[in-house]
Every structure is written in C-alpha cells, then in structure tokens.
Amino acid sequence: MLNRLLGRWTADLAIDLGTANTLIGVAGEGLVLNEPSVVAVEREGGRILSGGCAVGHLAKQMLGRTPESISVVRPLSDGVITDFQLCEAMLRYFLQKSQRQGWAIKPRVVISVPGAITPVEKRAVFNSAHRAGAREVFLLSESKAAAIGVGLPVAEPVASMVCDIGGGTTEVAVMSLGDTVAASSVRVAGDKMDQAVVDYLRRNYSLRIGLPAAERLRIDIGSAYPMADELVDEVSGVDVVSGLPRKATVTSEEIREALGDPLEDIVEAIRSTLDRCPPDLAADLVDNGMVLAGGGSLTRGLDDFLSQRTGIPARVATDALSAVAKGPGRMVGVLVLAVVLACLPSEIVSQLRGAWQTALRPSLQLTVALQENTTDFRNRWRGTDALGEQLDNAQQQQAALEAENLRLVNQMHDLQQRLALAEDGASEHAALQPLVVPRLVEARVIGQQGRALLKQLSIVDAGRAQQILPESFVLDGSVDVLDLGEDARLQNGQLVLDGYRVWGKVVEVGPRVSRTMPVDAEDYRDIVRIVDREDPDREHGRGMLEGAGDGTCRIRLVDITQPVAVGDRVYSAALDDTLGPKLLYGEVESVQREPGAPHWDIRVRPTQAGFDSLLRVGNVVPDWFALVALLTVLTIRKPRPLAIGMLVGLAADFSAAGPLGISTALLSITTLSVTQLRRKLHIEHPALQVPLIAAATTVYTLGVMLLASFQSVLANGVVSIFLEATGVGIYTAAFALPVLMIIAWSREPRPLHSLPLARP
C-alpha cells in the first residue's frame, strides 16, 4: 500500500551496472540512460572533474587524452566493483540524470549482477546503490535479466538458453520454469578480447597500442567466423623497439586469430553449462537454440562460430546491448512472477507465493530467500530424495533457532547491564569512567654488578627525585597493569577506555592494582553492535567480538541477513545510546561467509589513534542547520532575531548534538548581551571595546565549558571533565574571539538620542 502511494512520486528503475556501460530503464518508460561506466578524476585528491559531471560519455571522451594529473577510471572490473567511492559517485550521477522532474522520493532499483560474484561483492553493489540514493535495492543475476530482456519464455517448462557477453564477464544460463537450471559465469568478455588484440599486435607487429584503439579495431574489422569479404584496417601505435609512432595495416583474419583464446574460453563456459543440464532440457536446446546478448555478442560471425562449436543454433538478440537493463525492467512490477504463477502446478505456486511475499521485503532477504525457495521447489520438482529435503529443513530451522537464541542472549545481556546500572546509581558513571594508564617511572639496571645487587637487594635506580615514596608500588611496566584497584572501586569486566575508544577490559582487580586485557587478546570477549558507517542510527546486527591474537578481532554470530559492510563501525553493546556515549571498538575490515554458514565471518580492525571523526568533543562536525543559524546571528544586530538565533542554535544542538549548536546559542546570548550593554552604557570609545570583548569572550567560553562539563558528567564520569572542558574551552575561545571582535567593531550602537521617538 505504502509502495503504491509512494509510486506516484517515485519510480522503479532497472540498472545494468556493467563493466563497460551502465544502462538504466524506468518501469513504464523504457531505457532512459546508456552511458559508459567511466569516471574522470584528479589523480591527487581523487575529485571528479567538471564539478562531479565528468562521468559517462564526457569521461570516455577524455580516455587516452588526459594529462598526468588526471586519470580516467572504470570503477568496475570483470563485472565487480573495484572502486567503491567512484562507483557510488557514478551511480548517484546516473540516478540523478535519469530521474525526471516530480520524483520527490528515492526510487526502488533492481540491479543485475554477474552470477559468479561473492556475497561480499554483492553486498558492495547493494550498499553502493543504497548510498547513491536508492530507496530499496534488489539484485538479479545478469543471465536471468538478459533472458527476460531478450524475451525468452523463461516461465515455460522448456529450456531457454542465453549467453550474455559483456565487457567484463560472460554469463551463460539455461532456464526453465522461471528459474536457472544450469549457469556459468566467466571473467572473459570484451575487455579480455581487447587485451588479446593488444598482445597480438605487440607480438606480431612490435606495435604498442592502447586498449581503446584495440577495441575500435576489434569492432571495426574483428570477427569470430570467416567472412565472405575479409576486411582490412590501419592502426596507429608506438614501435616497441624504436619508441616512435607508426602505423600498421591489419586484416580481419589476424584479429580473428588474436581473438582465438578468449572465444575458446566462452565456448568452454557454454559447454560446461550444457554438461550440467539434464538431458531432456539439453534436447530442447537443439530445437530452441541459444540467444546471444550483451555488446560482445555483436562481434561479426559469433553466432555462426558458437553454433558450429557447440552444436546449439545461436542467434543474436535484436537489442543485444540493452537486454540486461530491459530484463529487470520487465521484472519490475513482478510481471514475470505472475506469468510463472499462471503456468505452474499448485504445489509450486504455493512455494513461489512464499518467495514472492519474501520478495516484497526489502534488502538482501530478497536474494537469499528467492534462492532458497526456488532451489527447494526445484529439488521437489525433480524428485530429490526425501531425506535430503528433511536435512535442508532441519538446517534452516537450526539457523532460525540459533538466530533467535542470539537475539535472546543479546537482550538478556542488555537487560543485565541496565539492571546493574540502575541498582548502583553511584557506579553508573564509574562504569563509564575512562581509566588512566599509569605513568610509571622507568628503572634501569646499571652494569653486571649493579644488576646482581639490584636483584639481591631489590633496589631500583629511582628515588626521591622521581617522587618515589616508601609506600610506592613496584609494578610490571607493561601496559596491561593499572595503578588503580579496589581502592578506586574498579571491578572485573569494566572497560578500559581511551576517550570513547575501547582499549580493553579489567580482568583482575587487586587491592591497589589491576590487570587488563587488550581487545585483540585471544581470550577477549564482548557483545557488540555493528552500525552503518554513514548512518549511525542504522544498526546492522549484534554479535560476539573475540580477540584474534594477531592485532585484529573477529565477530561471530551475526546473521547473514544483516547487511554488514566493510567500513561499518563496531560499538560495545554494553550501553545504549540513551545511557551514555557510544564506546567504539573499531571498524569492519572484511566480511565473509563460509558456503552454507548461517553467520558472517567478520574481521574487525581495532580502533587506533587518529580515528578522531568519532570523538565528540573538540571535533567540529559541520552541522548545516547550526551553521545557517550562526550566519544569521552574524548578519543581524537586532535583539529579537538574535534571540531567535539562540533558540535555533539550541534546537540544532538537541537535534544533531553538534558543538556548533551550543556555540551558536551561546554566541547569540553573548552577542545579545554585548549589544544591550553597549546600548545601555554608551560604550563607544575604542579603549573600552577591548575589555568588553575580553569580558564577553570569557563569559562565552566559561558558558561553553560549563555546558560541556555538564554533558561530560552525564556521559562520561568525572575524570575526563577537566580535559574535555579545557579542550572545548580552547576551541570555543578561539572561535568566539574573532567573531566578537568583528561584531564589536563593525556595528556601532545607535546612540539613544537618535532612536525614533514614539508618536503620541
């Protein structure tokens, strides 16, 4: 219902995010964009040229003609994303370009992906599309999209075969009853053919040419099968020996010879797909043939070549280049499923209905559930033995129970934490109190004799000069010993923090000292929350963090339906946002999944110094709301707008918790006071301005320090107040002084006698 309503202001898009070209189709409108998947960027800084518009056709025009400082990049290679940021920027640009006026809401998109990509690569596509501005993202295999796009009767109980030869990958699939029966995906297609032409010319003509020139030559005269009239073309390059530019005349027979290896790889992919196809369906293919799609299929004589080599008649689809984008376009609205449902027996229909209902749910669940359901019903259809089926069901149930168990464990842990904090009000802040790593005095041993003496008499070479007293402790100098213990009310399990970063935890508390364990130690365990790297309010599941003993950690028990991605932040689950600050463990470094495993295998890089984007204090996050308020305050002089500025600043602080919000509010108050004071006291003499500004800055700085301290007490216990308040104070003083100076000097108060008199 919601989607139907949203549909009035939004659109359903089908995207063929290809290695060479990106195509976008809009449901009900057809193809709206067809551009090369290329971006032109500055080598230093990585900014996209032409104000972010050097993408697609514009960038491709620059290919091979750029100076040293500029590079033209393809964010995808072999069908998968190799540069996430550029891919995201490119997708965002294409989505904006293909949106028509009036779409107020982000679109839903179906994206085709190669059949052989890993779950992590799929996740990358999924996340890039989300970040580029898609409301919901569904993934569909390229071969399935191509089969639907070229109009094959995929829903019927006969075999249909498609071979999609793109720029980076070739996808071969045999489909029947709406699903893939056998498929192969190889990373050999147009790009590998271009490379083969480059290699051929280098080998046989000692001529070095670029990939764009090789592509032109291949398209102009390349062929896969002998032609009635062979072609000839000239190509320019650089002589490998002399290094000088020269030309060579090349024939289509030679290009055919050069394309030999990649074409053989494609034949091999088709053969291996046919091998895995049940005999009855393979027999269908002899009659129905296979359809070639994708730009690579436009190679002259490829249909004849593949027919001869595979024994299956091949024909090139009429819209070979746009078939993949049209496929999901036809999927949008789930027309295909409707057709499938109409053709299938009721047992299968009920299976598909389950899959369809799942498909209505957003995100990765679509892909996972559709795969599971279709595999399941295919097995039944073919009469797979009942024992295997029961095993599958049992495994699914086990996975569901494990997930439920983990959820309950997490919930219990959370509740225990809250209970502990609630019971001991006094220790509420102590639990958050960052512990200070002791500054130990280093003791050196001097010479052989001295060493023996020291050992014998337990003497250290430090004394009163280092403020050592008779009661002082002699500690193991390693970092995992703290000079605080029961005397400081430390408890086992308390986190040791460096600011808001988790360094480790207390594992053994003595009367005056404690032992700690760093997060990467093998025995380290904690329940953690994984949070989207860009949207801190989006949680990507919870799991058990364990130290790996090699400087990293891993997280177990996170369900594979959770959209965890590289770069996501990992926080301790011990505290909720409502109870205090987020305590950071680190960043997700890799996400993998063992075949058939119900959980992700996640690697975490523990946080290090320099991770300051997550620190709260002293870190100025540009908060546009507050910035606008601040600019308003700076450009007006009347008391009422200043008071409004103050309120807006406060609201900004509440909404975004940015230090700029507090600053805006306090600056408004201070400016207001200065303006009023100057009016009342007639302070116009320049000599009086200086003490006034100094006083205002001090008041303002103290105010911010007071607020920061208050926030800090609430969030972080008492130890760090001083540090935080000082940091905030320095920052705000530096910020306020020039602003107040500008205000004081640029705006002279109007003398009282010049104010307009009230009319009687």
3-state SS class at 537: coil
In the complex, the residues that contact ligand ATP under the rule CB under 6 A are 16, 18-21, 79, 142, 166-169, 189-191, 215, 219, 294-296, 298-299, 321
In the complex, least distance from residue 590 CB atom to ligand ATP, rounded to whole angstroms: 24
Nearer to ligand ATP, 177 or 189 (CB): 189
Only one residue has tokens 């070639």, namely 292
Which residues sit opposite 599 in a β-bridge?
559
485 in Cβ contact with 510 (< 8 Å): yes
24 in Cβ contact with 98 (< 8 Å): yes
Q: Which of 126, 90, 146 is nearest to 98 (CA)?
A: 90
Backbone φ and ψ of 399, nearest 5°: -60, -40
Residue 579 has what DSSP assignment?
Answer: G
Nearer to ligand ATP, 294 or 598 (CB): 294
Q: Other C-beta atoms within 10 Å of 598: how many?
A: 18
Q: Which of 27, 39, 19, 38 is nearest to 114 (CA)?
A: 19
In the complex, least distance from residue 284 CB atom to ligand ATP, rounded to whole angstroms: 26
Nearer to ligand ATP, 221 or 575 (CB): 221
Nearer to ligand ATP, 264 or 534 (CB): 264
In sequence order, what E strands does 510-568 have?
A: 514-518, 525-531, 539-547, 553-559
223 in Cβ contact with 202 (< 8 Å): no
Please, where are the H alpha helices in 230-360?
Answer: 252-258, 260-275, 279-288, 302-310, 323-331, 335-343, 346-360
Nearer to ligand ATP, 198 or 604 (CB): 198
In the complex, least distance from residue 294 CB atom to ligand ATP, rounded to whole angstroms: 4
Nearer to ligand ATP, 166 or 598 (CB): 166
In the complex, least distance from residue 98 CB atom to ligand ATP, rounded to whole angstroms: 16
Query: How far from chain centre, in Å, is Cα 100?
Result: 27
Q: Could you give the CA distance from residue 260 to residue 248 in angstroms, rounded to a whole number?
A: 21
**Measuring CA to CA, how many Å separate 58 from each of 37, 49, 72, 164, 473?**
11, 10, 10, 27, 70
Sign of the CA dihedral running 572, 576, 582, 583 = negative
Residue 385 has what DSSP assignment?
Answer: -
Nearer to ligand ATP, 215 or 480 (CB): 215
Q: Other C-beta atoms within 10 Å of 319: how many?
A: 14
Sign of the CA dihedral running 330, 336, 339, 343 = positive
Q: Could you give the CA distance from residue 13 to residue 145 in angstroms, rounded to a whole number?
A: 13
In the complex, least distance from residue 297 CB atom to ligand ATP, rounded to whole angstroms: 8
In the complex, least distance from residue 300 CB atom to ligand ATP, rounded to whole angstroms: 7
Nearer to ligand ATP, 111 or 558 (CB): 111
Sign of the CA dihedral running 461, 463, 469, 475 = negative
Nearer to ligand ATP, 81 or 557 (CB): 81
Nearer to ligand ATP, 125 or 344 (CB): 125
In the complex, least distance from residue 136 CB atom to ligand ATP, rounded to whole angstroms: 22
In the complex, least distance from residue 150 CB atom to ligand ATP, rounded to whole angstroms: 12
In the complex, least distance from residue 711 CB atom to ligand ATP, rounded to whole angstroms: 50
Residue 135: what residue type?
R
Nearer to ligand ATP, 16 or 88 (CB): 16
In the complex, least distance from residue 332 CB atom to ligand ATP, rounded to whole angstroms: 19
Query: How far from chain centre, in Å, is Cα 609?
Result: 22
In the complex, least distance from residue 23 CB atom to ligand ATP, rounded to whole angstroms: 7
